[in-house]
Amino acid sequence: MPIIVNLDVMMAKRKMSLNELSEKVDITLSNLSILKTGKAKAVRFSTLEAICKALDCQPGDILEFVEK
């Protein structure tokens, strides 16, 4: 898929673990893992908002479009 999820990069920048993020955004670990590994087919705005708030970043920092 040409949309790349850079969640792991942002988490590394903020030095935040998956468990910690999961607790902060109130999303299960399995769902966060689906998002992190790029298996997700869609992301809700509410999820994106919560992740951006927790990682103090913009949606563009997490999602990237790469033409293949």
Q: With respect to another protein, which residue has the nearer C-beta, 6 or 47?
A: 47
CA distance 56 to 2: 24
CA distance 8 to 30: 15
Gyration radius (Cα) of the chain, Å = 11
CA distance 68 to 59: 21
Q: Which of 35, 54, 55, 62 binds another protein (CB under 8 A)?
A: 35
Q: Which of 16, 47, 57, 61 binds another protein (CB under 8 A)?
A: 47
Stretch touching another protein by CB under 8 A, among 12-20, 39-47, 59-67: 39-47
**Residues lying near another protein in the complex (CB under 8 A):** 27, 31-32, 34-35, 39-44, 47
